[in-house]
Chains A and B, each alone.
Chain A
């Protein structure tokens, strides 16, 4: 007879493992990736490929050089960060911009904290915000001009003109600043809802199609990768809060549906805010987290300097996670009465 294994119970394990969960996230992101490839072809492929390869390579190198032990790239989390980073960048990003993003995301935001599970902030979002602040022209659509060089393969996408290339939120903000009334602004064909639902030009790669993002979200729910609390509380908060503002003054504020569909809110709510590592553990914590993101997003969008607030809102709420994790789950029962 063979030697028997004698470890303690439980003697069996469920189907979940880190690689499977990360694989599911990648699958859930595919519709969004495919939509951007459909509209932008080679340059979208260029973006995703460079981002993923860079993220994986950087994680591998850092692991090799600074940590000892088995490489962790097999858990697929670097690929997830790579795809998310790509979806958070404009399609026409040159390779060096993507590379800087990957270094910031994996090298700084993830590995300096000790790798998977240890980081406080969502790596892809840290990279997005660092790039946004450092290269505002390249990163926002409001002066959307693709650089002529900077591609490892393929060419810059057909450059759309400055106005229609702008992200809808930036567009609205610009026009509002000029004093144009809201219903006038909304007549721009680029701002129609059908455009946004299926495919909208401008903005970063992952913001193109609400339907594609929703499909991915549903997949994550069905596969029980995530619970819906965070995403729903973000969306509901944004809808209600911006709805109240809109009701208060429809000429000055964007309507709530528009707020839901634009500016990477769905990408953020479905895929960035739900990142396990940087979101709270308990349902209660998750709801507070989501409401916080919703409120901050609307505040930044409406009153802040940047047209889009989701990334900042998520990062700000990321920093509250250790605190939110102090919220204990509902225990099974109360302490017995001493008799």
Chain B
């Protein structure tokens, strides 16, 4: 069984919601569709208050190479274009739409039939993915078409679909693998065609045997697609770790993943690619999990982008009394929710409730120099040292010790017996060092 070679930790699995089939979440009365759905430049609205829109209609254009268009997730009337606070409480431009009915643009194929034959050619596929606003749904929300247009210096050799879902609790990728195996495999085939490669690996962790079995069986009908069973270890789903695990190649420091030949796409993204290319359906829905040990319900949903998180929480019985922290994403890399009225984004993968006992930080004590953080770091860094250098703002040393290689996986903070919040310091140091490096004149 394959895995990445260096570091990693084993947080408790907790896939409590794994048996809950994906349901359609009701549509709220009003949606707030953010223009900053993706990494890169925010989209620019192309509708005005008072305009009638349909589901799937373009409402904002991409504003640069690394950007993505945004489509309406509902039908109704544009109420306003205003600043709406995101889950961290930071305001950003959003199109607010009052919902009326559920009328879709007629270019979308809404039938249940699985379309296997791929009629678009390489260029058309990338174009369609771009037009449909597909972005990476594994966390970074990087526009997918950009990843499918590698620089001329790199030669892609394979697609890797990330089905590791190594974060505890999250189950949306698992549900897609179980419920939409053909769509996923077709998505993988489309990605191969788009890149002009003939190999597609689907990496799945061993804790999802049903998905491995089903997809291995189904993959026989899809030439070039191979399911790879991976050991359960966090952060297996990290792009660099996954490439190392699946094809044994290392993404160079400060390099691009595609330098190894591999282009990684997450399960949700591959599904969105299928819908965009085969069904002409723009990305305006997302699949997410509502879970947590104290959560009243364990569910997986398809949500319309722009649905307020608080609406979803209410729909699932409300915020549990003993929830002390609500996270969007997994417990290792997710973001703590400050503003529960924030709308969902394309990349929203979960609402996770943690109790005080599970999540409250313990007071920090002296570093006992145990080296556990060094052993846990999947990038081969020295977190204890980066933390010390960071607290003293020693930027040259931080750069010499490759703070910029940190993938912010949190393995170091997770394993430190002295409860030192190593990543807090390292994250800040990394940002500062990256800024210094960027400001340097290029040679």
**A residues within 8 Å of B by Cβ?**
1-2, 4-14, 16-18, 20-21, 72, 75, 77, 115-118, 227, 276-277, 279-282, 328-337, 339
Contacts and interface: CB of A to CB of B under 8 A. Distances in A.
Contacts of A21: 368, 370, 417
A331 B319 contact: no
Contact of B417 (A1, A10, A18, A72): A18
A129 B348 CA distance: 61
Interface in B312-335: 319, 321, 323-327, 331-335
Nearest to B427: A8
Contacts of A72: 365-366
Contacts of B244: 332
Contacts of B334: 9, 11
A5 to B, nearest CB: 4
B371 A6 contact: no
A14 B9 contact: yes
Interface residues of B, number: 70
Contacts of B354: 11-12
B250 A281 contact: no
Given A328-B401, A331-B380, A13 B413 contact: yes
A77 B418 CA distance: 13
Interface of B: 6, 9, 11, 153, 168, 240, 244, 250-256, 259, 319, 321, 323-327, 331-338, 354, 356, 358-362, 365-372, 374-375, 377-382, 384, 401-402, 405, 408, 410, 413-419, 421, 423-424, 427
A116 B368 contact: yes
Nearest to A114: B366
B251 A331 contact: no
Ranked nearest first, the 4 interchain pairs of A and B with the lowest CB-CB distance are A10-B410, A336-B255, A333-B250, A336-B252
B413 to A, nearest CB: 5
A336 B257 CA distance: 11
Contacts of B324: 2, 4-5
6 contacts: A9-B334, A12-B414, A21-B417, A116-B365, A281-B371, A332-B405
A282 B414 contact: no
Nearest to B372: A16
A12 B252 contact: no
Given A6-B338, A17-B362, A277-B368, A11 B327 contact: yes
B259 A5 contact: no
Contacts of A18: 365, 368, 417-418
Contact of A14 (B254, B377, B402, B415): B415
B325 to A, nearest CB: 4
Contacts of B362: 13, 17
Given A9-B334, A11-B332, A12-B332, A333 B252 contact: yes
B272 to A, nearest CB: 25
Nearest to B332: A10
Nearest to B336: A6
Nearest to A224: B372
Contact of A5 (B325, B379, B381, B421): B325
Contact of B252 (A6, A75, A280, A337): A337
Nearest to A70: B363
Given A11-B336, A281-B374, A75 B410 contact: no
Given A5-B356, A334-B253, A281 B413 contact: no
B369 A281 contact: yes
A13 B9 CA distance: 11
B366 A330 contact: no
B399 to A, nearest CB: 12
A20 B417 contact: yes
Contacts of A8: 336, 423-424, 427
B414 A276 contact: no
A282 B336 contact: no
A108 B424 CA distance: 34
Given A5-B336, A18-B418, A20-B417, A12 B361 contact: no
Contacts of A328: 382, 401
Contacts of A280: 371
A223 to B, nearest CB: 12
Nearest to A117: B366
B10 to A, nearest CB: 8
A128 B17 CA distance: 57
Nearest to B326: A4
Given A330-B380, A333-B250, A333-B251, A116 B366 contact: yes
A336 B374 contact: no
Contact of B413 (A10, A75, A329): A10
B372 A9 contact: no
A328 B381 CA distance: 8
A1 B368 CA distance: 38
A336 B337 contact: no
Given A10-B333, A328-B401, A281 B360 contact: no
A21 B417 CA distance: 8
A81 B325 CA distance: 39
B335 A9 contact: yes
A14 B11 contact: yes
Contacts of A115: 366
